[in-house]
Chain A
Amino acid sequence: MDTSVLIWFVIFIIAMVLFFGTAVVITVIGVRDLRDLLSGSATKE
């Protein structure tokens, strides 16, 4: 395989891992943040 193609593949795989890895972390911590936001917000009732 051509070197330049290989470099782009490696960059793509790193980018993909960073995206999905961060997505998992954000999802887990985000649930807690969302709970905090809603519990600290007054409702209309």
Chain B
Amino acid sequence: MNFHLIDWIILVAYLGLSVFVGIWAKRYVENMEGYFVAGRRVKVALGSATLIATEIGVVTFMYFGELGYVTGFSCFILGIIGFFGYMVIGKTGFIVSGLRKLKVITIPEYYELRYGKNVRILGGILLFLGGVLNMGVFLRMDGIFLTETMGFGPNVLAIVMTVMLLIVISYTVLGGMFSVVITDFIQFVVLAFGMLIATAFVLIHVDFAAIGTVVLTQFGEAGVNPLVNPRFGWTFLIWMMIGSIAISALNQPAVSKSFASESPAVGRKVFLYTGITLAGRYMIPMFWGVAALAMFGPTMNPTTAMPRLLGTVVPSGFLGLMIAGMLAASMSTYSAYMLAWSSVATRDIIAPLSKKEFSEKTTMRLSKIISTLIGIFILLFGLFYELPATAFQYIAITGAMYAAGAFGCVAFGLYWKRANIVGAYCSLCFGAVAPIGFLVLEQLKGVLPSSMLFLIDVNVSGFMSFVLGALGMILGSLATQRSHPPIVLKPKEEGA
């Protein structure tokens, strides 16, 4: 067993502190804006810390580690693409400043302003489904990570993960965005320190020369050139280039942090500073994965190789700190995701479908119930669902389910005057077709004729989702300009 008494003391002390602080923050909940967006008073450094903490979780370490193990250095290109995606948003305020000016809390709220109530409901359903399916894989990955690094059996880990989930639900449900912001900040500090510890010990045990040699021996040029790597290629890279901007700007849990900022300019800067760290937070776990290949060889399960490496090279005491950091990362991700998806379900699906208007108190109570249900769902999903691709590709394709249509609706809605309700419907539906088709057909791949096998290529599906989403908006809007004239919006506050 890798995990000793000192590690347990560090871990329990840290988890106790997180719960205490999260529940203590309940005293700051004032109203609905306080609950969902922390009263919109978050400044740049704090906003950046919470956004980074939201976007890094054990699941991100796991899927990037897995990619490093199976593709070598080729996957590092994702860090570069993501870095430029965030820089574009951070420099121009693309999408996020426009939404922040309109003072929306969720993305489907924008749909109602620009296209009408029914688009908001459809967009809310797709966003919620895609988002919760996306989150479904988190717990399983966390379980595998803990199994390998701590050295316990999977049965015990299921209990540990359930306890962790209960802790997160408790402070998310009780405290809302104030709890999330405060605990995210603490978690950011701890997880950055955890990453530093892990990287230092990996570099002590596995040298650069051995890593370079094993990548070239194992993969040849495919290990250093993403264009010739069979898992990537042009289709994947173009999908990632579009997707990195779309998903970054429209990922509700992340963009909630931008909405919580004190002004549109601060919201934009949060993306800029977060973007500076992006290449590192992608490449560091990828590097751990490549180092695992150098240490253990190519015969291991790709998912378990990276956590096994960390469990092997990080000594007791430091291991407790590192695991605390990793759990910190996960807890901040869970809490932000649960808060974001429950706010979408409550405000964008249930409330618009209800005949009577909900009070702020009812909206928050409903959101808390849905947060709890999401927690139960991800526990069950993690136990029973088999992933159809690498974890990264699964996350990207479920993200595309809502991001492709949302990108069509929001980007065109903000920057193209002719965007109208018909275009919005077409964009949402067309954008979701390819990812849903992939997830369904992948289950039937044994009976598919060979001519249809391209439909279960995850890269083709992801790329097509954005093409179809954009085409749906353009063609749908142009064909119906007279019958459905576009709605023109004015910002609710001064510009960025």
CB pair B181–A37 under 8 Å, yes or no, is yes
- B264 contacts partner chain A, Cβ-Cβ < 8 Å: no
* A44/B45 contact (C-beta < 8 A), A1-B212, A15-B279 known: no
Query: Which residues of the partner chain A approach B358 to less than 8 Å between Cβ atoms?
Result: none
CB pair A41–B43 under 8 Å, yes or no, is no
CB pair A42–B279 under 8 Å, yes or no, is no
Give the distance in Å from the alpha carbon of A45 to the alpha carbon of B195 in the complex: 39
Which residue of chain B has the shortest Cβ distance to A37 in the bound complex? B41
The B interface is mostly helix, strand or loop, or mixed, namely helix
Query: Which residues of the partner chain A approach B27 to less than 8 Å between Cβ atoms?
Result: 43-45
CB pair A8–B216 under 8 Å, yes or no, is no
Q: What 1/0 flags go to B20-57 for Cβ under 8 Å of A? A: 00000011111000100011011111111100100000
Query: Which residues of the partner chain B approach A32 to less than 8 Å between Cβ atoms?
Result: 45
Q: What 1/0 flags go to B180-201 for Cβ under 8 Å of A? A: 0110010011001001100100
CB pair A16–B41 under 8 Å, yes or no, is no
Q: What 1/0 flags go to A4-40 for Cβ under 8 Å of B? A: 1110110110111111101101111110111011101
Which of B30, B80, B277 interacts with A11 by CB under 8 Å? B80
CB pair A16–B277 under 8 Å, yes or no, is no
Which residue of chain B has the shortest Cβ distance to A44 in the bound complex? B27
Residue tally, chain B, CB below 8 Å to A: 50
Which residue of chain B has the shortest Cβ distance to A32 in the bound complex? B45
- B110 contacts partner chain A, Cβ-Cβ < 8 Å: no
Query: Which residues of the partner chain A approach B463 to less than 8 Å between Cβ atoms?
Result: none
Query: Which residues of the partner chain B approach A17 to less than 8 Å between Cβ atoms?
Result: 280
CB pair A30–B185 under 8 Å, yes or no, is yes
CB pair B277–A5 under 8 Å, yes or no, is no
Query: Which residues of the partner chain B approach A18 to less than 8 Å between Cβ atoms?
Result: 276-277, 279-280
Which residue of chain A has the shortest Cβ distance to B38 in the bound complex? A37
Which of A12, A23, A26, A44 interacts with B76 by CB under 8 Å? A12
Give the distance in Å from the alpha carbon of A45 to the alpha carbon of B39 in the complex: 17
Give the distance in Å from the alpha carbon of A26 to the alpha carbon of B42 in the complex: 13
Q: Which of B45, B48, B83, B178: most chain A Cβ within 10 A?
A: B45
Give the distance in Å from the alpha carbon of A33 to the alpha carbon of B188 in the complex: 14
CB pair B283–A5 under 8 Å, yes or no, is no
CB pair B224–A38 under 8 Å, yes or no, is no
- B281 contacts partner chain A, Cβ-Cβ < 8 Å: yes
Which of A2, A16, A20, A36 interacts with B224 by CB under 8 Å? A2
Which of A15, A33, A41, A44 interacts with B79 by CB under 8 Å? A15
CB distance from B7 to the nearest CB of A (A): 23
Give the distance in Å from the alpha carbon of A8 to the alpha carbon of B47 in the complex: 30
CB pair B49–A30 under 8 Å, yes or no, is yes
CB distance from A21 to the nearest CB of B (A): 9
CB distance from A41 to the nearest CB of B (A): 5
* A5/B212 contact (C-beta < 8 A), A12-B76, A42-B30 known: yes
CB pair B182–A34 under 8 Å, yes or no, is yes
Residues of A at the B interface (CB closer than 8 Å) are 1-2, 4-6, 8-9, 11-12, 14-20, 22-23, 25-30, 32-34, 36-38, 40-45
Q: Told that A15-B83, A15-B284 touch, could you supply 16 new A-B pairs with CB distance under 8 A? A: A8-B76, A8-B224, A11-B80, A11-B279, A15-B283, A19-B281, A26-B45, A30-B48, A30-B49, A33-B42, A33-B45, A34-B46, A37-B42, A42-B30, A43-B28, A44-B29
Q: What are 7 A-B interface contacts by the 8 Å CB criterion?
A: A16-B284, A18-B279, A27-B49, A27-B189, A34-B182, A36-B41, A40-B41
